[in-house]
Amino acid sequence: MGKIIDKVKGKLMKVEGKLTGDKVRMAQGALQDTKGDLEGGLDKVKRSVKSAARTVSRTVRGKTR
């Protein structure tokens, strides 16, 4: 859930920076948005690894019985 919040906060910061002409705020928003993207990507990788581990575990258990 944090990834969604980070993306929304980042987009709001970028808009705020654009409206006020604050380049630092725009950069902070871009960083926050990217953080949300990375967290989302890591969650996908984590789910894939868990799924692969379950598949391997089931295959190994099936062969030993």
pLDDT at 10: 94
Which residue carries 């871009």 as its tokens? 30
Cβ burial, residue 6 (10 Å; 0-12/13-18/19+)? buried
The pTM of the full predicted model, rounded to 2 decimals, is 0.69
Which ranges constitute the DSSP H helices of 1-65?
2-20, 23-64
Tell me the per-residue pLDDT of 25-64, one tens digit each, with 9 for 90 and over. Answer: 999 999 999 999 999 999 999 999 999 999 998 888 886 5
pLDDT tens, residue by residue, 15-26: 999 999 999 999
Question: Taking the domains of the chain in order of start, what are their residue ranges?
Answer: 2-64
pLDDT for residue 33: 94
Residue tagged 């969650």 (tokens): 43
